[in-house]
Amino acid sequence: MISLKRKLGIGLSIIFFLLLFSYFFILIDLPSSFSLVEGTESIVRIRFPFDLYVSGIRNSVITNNGQRISGEHFRLIPGNLILRAETVGSSDLTFKLFGIIPIKSITVNVLPEIRVYPGGQAIGVLLKSRGVMVVGNSFVEGEDGRKYYPAQEAGIRVGDKILEINKMVVNDKVVLATEIQKNMKENKGINLLVENKDGERRYVRVIPVKNKQGVFMIGLYVVDGVAGVGTLTFINPENNEFGALGHEIIETNSQTRIDLREGKIIEAQISGIHSGQRGIPGEKLGTFFQSENIIGDIKINNQFGIFGKIKKFVRNPYFKTPIPVAANSEIVRGPAKIYTVVSGGKIEEFLVNIERVYHQSSPGEKGMIINITDPRLKELTGGIVQGMSGSPIVQNNKLVGAITHVFVNEPSKGYGVFAEWMVSQTLGNFQD
Question: Within a domain: residue 22?
Answer: no
Residue of 216, 249, 230 lying closest to 295 (CA atoms): 230
CA dist 275 and 375 (Å) reads 14
**Same domain membership, residue 77 and residue 42:** yes
**Same domain membership, residue 258 and residue 183:** no
Last residue of a domain, one of 187, 218, 249: 218
Return the CATH number at 328: 2.40.10.120
**Same domain membership, residue 306 and residue 165:** no
CA dist 151 and 194 (Å) reads 11
**Same domain membership, residue 374 and residue 271:** yes
Question: Within a domain: residue 17?
Answer: no
CA dist 132 and 168 (Å) reads 13
- If pLDDT is split at 50, 70 and 90, which confidence band does 424 have? confident
Residue 121 near residue 232, CB atoms below 8 Å: yes
**Same domain membership, residue 249 and residue 389:** yes
Domain count, the chain: 3
Q: Which domain holds residue 202?
A: 139-218
CA 119 to chain centre: 16
Residue of 324, 370, 325 lying closest to 351 (CA atoms): 370
Could you report the per-residue pLDDT of 305-325, keeping only the tens digit for each? Answer: 999 999 988 999 999 999 999
When mean pLDDT is compared across 4-13, 179-188, 413-422, the lowest value belongs to: 4-13
Could you report the per-residue pLDDT of 97-129, keeping only the tens digit for each? Answer: 666 667 777 777 777 889 999 999 999 999 999
Instruction: Please report the pLDDT score of residue 322 as a whole number.
Output: 96
Question: Within a domain: residue 6?
Answer: no
Give the dihedral of Cα atoms 94, 360, 391, 279; nearest 10 deg. -150
Residue 50 near residue 24, CB atoms below 8 Å: no
How many C-beta neighbours within 10 Å does residue 263 have? 23
Query: Mean pLDDT across the chain, nearest whole number?
Result: 83
Which of residues 198 and 100 earns the better pLDDT score?
A: 198
Which of residues 287 and 182 earns the better pLDDT score?
A: 182
**Same domain membership, residue 413 and residue 390:** yes
**Same domain membership, residue 398 and residue 274:** yes
Return the CATH number at 164: 2.30.42.10
**Same domain membership, residue 146 and residue 93:** no
**Same domain membership, residue 107 and residue 121:** no
Beta bridge partners of 417: 402
**Residue 11 predicted with pLDDT over 60:** no
When mean pLDDT is compared across 77-86, 137-146, 214-223, 244-253, the lowest value belongs to: 77-86
Catalytic residues: 247, 374, 389
Q: What percent helix, strand, coil does the chain show, rounded to 5?
A: 15, 50, 35
Question: Within a domain: residue 295?
Answer: yes
Give the dihedral of Cα atoms 285, 291, 297, 298; nearest 10 deg. 40
When mean pLDDT is compared across 76-80, 108-112, 195-199, 377-381, the lowest value belongs to: 76-80
**Same domain membership, residue 346 and residue 267:** yes
CA dist 129 and 195 (Å) reads 13
Question: Within a domain: residue 74?
Answer: yes
**Same domain membership, residue 107 and residue 204:** no
**Same domain membership, residue 107 and residue 49:** yes
Instruction: Please report the pLDDT score of residue 130 as a whole number.
Output: 92
**Residue 90 predicted with pLDDT over 70:** yes
Which of residues 307 and 96 earns the better pLDDT score?
A: 307
Instruction: Please report the pLDDT score of residue 429 as a whole number.
Output: 66
- If pLDDT is split at 50, 70 and 90, which confidence band does 364 have? confident
Question: Within a domain: residue 25?
Answer: no
**Residue 61 predicted with pLDDT over 80:** no
Question: Within a domain: residue 267?
Answer: yes
Instruction: Please report the pLDDT score of residue 1 as a whole number.
Output: 47
Question: Within a domain: residue 16?
Answer: no
- If pLDDT is split at 50, 70 and 90, which confidence band does 283 have? confident
CA dist 112 and 12 (Å) reads 49
Last residue of a domain, one of 163, 192, 218: 218
